[in-house]
Amino acid sequence: MTPRPVSSSLSSSAPASDPARSSQMAGVVQLGGRGVPITPGAGLYTARVAWRHSLRFRLALVYTLVALALISVIGLGVITLLLRQMDAQFDARLNERADTLAEAYVGSRQTLGKASGPAGGYTMLIGQDGQVIAASPSLRDYEKSPFPFENQEQVNIQDTPVRAVTRKVGDFGTLWVGLPTDALVDARVSAGRALALALLVTPVLMLLIGLWVGRRALTGLGRAAALADQIDPTHSVATLPLPAREDEVHRLLTAINRLLVRIDAGQAREKQLLGQIVHELGAPLTVLRASLARATERTADPEVVRAALVADELTFTTQDLMQLARGQLELKLAWHFIPSRTLQGRLDRLVPGTVFEGDWTGSLLCDPDRLTQAIRNLLANGRRAAGPEGRVVITLTETPETITFRVCDTGPGLPAELGDQIFEPFVSGSGSSGLGLSVSRQIALMHGGTLTASTQRASGAEFVLTIPGAALGDDEDEVGEG
């Protein structure tokens, strides 16, 4: 079947976005000329952060501890002051009662029982010999007995705490006056319970309120982190939108924007320089490659064949650099419908010694040059890993939906510490430039396919490049005629 061009100007396009998903977007920010959706589950904005690493939790905890310390100090100070004032008032009342009873007794010459004062107090008259001469009704049992509370200011009478003072009563002896302190004890207990309750409830309330307030206060910072997380440094970046309020978040985004401007300018200079270098190398390499190809046809000299292979290697390296300089968005695919044998012939010439397995009798809808570049990079990577004595096998499997190229080698396998980073630019585990695998994945994505890597159980690496199958018939009209 003769290959016929389908289109020479179709660009690679990503799969159409899901309308349902688009309707769920909370907002879109323009970054590098492309809309980046800020969805409820995208980026760092709604990432679930462990509580011990959460800034919101740490701030709430700090404010809670500060509030707990302040409440403890202020509460203890206030309660201590109030209790001292109550104690001073109690002592003043007790002394006033004692003075009043002493004056009333001496002045009226009445008996103690008739001049005992207000109810609720305790009084006793002690003679010169230390005997209780008279007592208030609740202390009748102590009359005609030795005074039992000598030099005691705090006593217990019938399980009631009593504070007492004494007064000299002329020649009669000493007047002992006491008042129950159960009100002071109850006040101390109530104050302690109130302080304990405040110390227990306040931290919980402060922590919950702090988490809620922190969540609202840090919303702008979370959105800024989400926007910054969406930035793709491999593309031209645009500045982030600034909030209306000139707060710390505004300052942070302003600093990020200044950094983005510097990054964008630096990337532009690097791409321009890289493009100029590749352009300067491309012309002489093309002439050299053509000359060596003609020389290879005229002679079978191994040195000439080897030089032709080196020229091919340099040509593909410059193509990788050119794609890196242009970027994926600026690169267009030239779609053609070609037999699989054509691709096999190209690969066999570019990477001699490759073993081809599978069904190569079908056809492919692709950009032949770009797909050859992608698979050639995989084969060259496998050849470097396997060495001269190793084996590199490519297997083609075709279904109505997909076409799969499986490249296996007998080398040591992929470095376990690199993982998926093996597809990042300038990351290499075999001493190469580190561009080939990155470019291969870009080309696979541009074809609407995928490229994955793994290490086989026995030995060696395995790369699987998958592109959509060639859909003919009604779909052909949608692609367009070349």
Query: What is the pLDDT, as a whole number, of residue 464?
Result: 95
Query: What is the pLDDT, as a whole number, of residue 12?
Result: 35
Is 143 within 8 Å of 154 (Cβ atoms)? no
DSSP secondary structure string, 293-351?
Answer: HHHHHH---HHHHHHHHHHHHHHHHHHHHHHHHH-GGG-----EEEEHHHHHHHHHHHS
Query: What is the pLDDT, as a whole number, of residue 478?
Result: 42
As given in the structure block, the two tokens for residue 327 are: 């970027």
Query: What is the pLDDT, as a whole number, of residue 481?
Result: 40
The one-letter amino acid code at 406 reads R
The domains found in the chain, sorted by start residue, are 1-14+335-482 (3.30.565.10), 56-198 (3.30.450.20)
Is 482 within 8 Å of 463 (Cβ atoms)? no
Query: What is the pLDDT, as a whole number, of residue 83?
Result: 86
DSSP secondary structure string, 26-70?
Answer: S-EEEETTEEEE--TTSTTTT----GGG-HHHHHHHHHHHHHHHH
Measured CA to CA, the distance from residue 239 to residue 217 in angstroms comes to: 23
| Residue among 88, 174, 186, 99 at smallest CA distance from 130 | 174
Residue range 195-252, pLDDT digits in tens = 888 888 888 888 888 888 877 777 777 777 777 777 766 555 667 777 777 777 778 8
Contacts of 452 (CB under 8 A, 6+ apart): 463, 464
Q: How far apart are the first and last CA of the chain?
A: 17
Sign of torsion over alpha carbons 324, 329, 334, 339? positive
Rg (CA), the chain: 47
- Per-residue pLDDT 10s for the chain (482 aa) are 334 333 333 333 333 333 333 333 334 443 333 343 433 333 333 445 566 667 778 888 888 888 888 888 888 888 888 888 888 998 898 898 888 888 877 765 544 444 444 446 888 888 888 888 888 888 888 888 898 888 888 888 888 899 999 988 877 788 899 898 888 888 888 888 888 888 888 888 888 888 888 777 777 777 777 777 777 665 556 677 777 777 777 788 888 888 888 887 887 787 777 777 777 777 787 788 788 878 877 887 878 777 877 777 777 777 767 766 665 445 678 899 999 999 999 898 888 889 999 999 999 999 998 899 899 989 988 888 888 888 999 999 999 899 999 999 988 888 777 767 778 766 655 555 567 788 889 889 999 999 999 887 767 889 999 999 876 444 444 444 43
Sign of torsion over alpha carbons 257, 259, 265, 270? negative
Sign of torsion over alpha carbons 42, 46, 48, 50? positive
Residue range 305-362, pLDDT digits in tens = 778 777 777 777 777 677 666 654 456 788 999 999 999 998 988 888 899 999 999 9
Helices (H) and strands (E) in the chain, counts: 10, 15
Query: What is the pLDDT, as a whole number, of residue 449?
Result: 94
Query: What is the pLDDT, as a whole number, of residue 235?
Result: 59
| Residue among 208, 206, 213, 212 at smallest CA distance from 69 | 206
Query: What is the pLDDT, as a whole number, of residue 474?
Result: 43
Strands 28-31 and 34-37: antiparallel
Query: What is the pLDDT, as a whole number, of residue 53?
Result: 67
Angle of helix 436-446 versus helix 368-386 axis, rounded to 10: 150
Task: Decide: helix, strand or coil at residue 157.
Answer: strand
Residue 261 backbone dihedrals phi, psi, to 5 degrees? -60, -45
Query: What is the pLDDT, as a whole number, of residue 433?
Result: 53
Contacts of 198 (CB under 8 A, 6+ apart): 71, 75
Q: Is 109 left (phi over 0), alpha (psi -120 to 50) or beta?
A: left
Is 163 within 8 Å of 153 (Cβ atoms)? yes
- Please identify which residue in the block is written with the tokens 């020479």: 8
- How large is the greatest C-alpha to C-alpha distance in the chain, in angstroms? 152
Query: What is the pLDDT, as a whole number, of residue 267?
Result: 74
Strands 355-358 and 392-398: parallel
Strands 336-339 and 4-5: antiparallel
DSSP 241: P
The one-letter amino acid code at 5 reads P
Residue 406 CA to chain centroid, in angstroms?
Answer: 37
Task: Decide: helix, strand or coil at residue 436.
Answer: helix
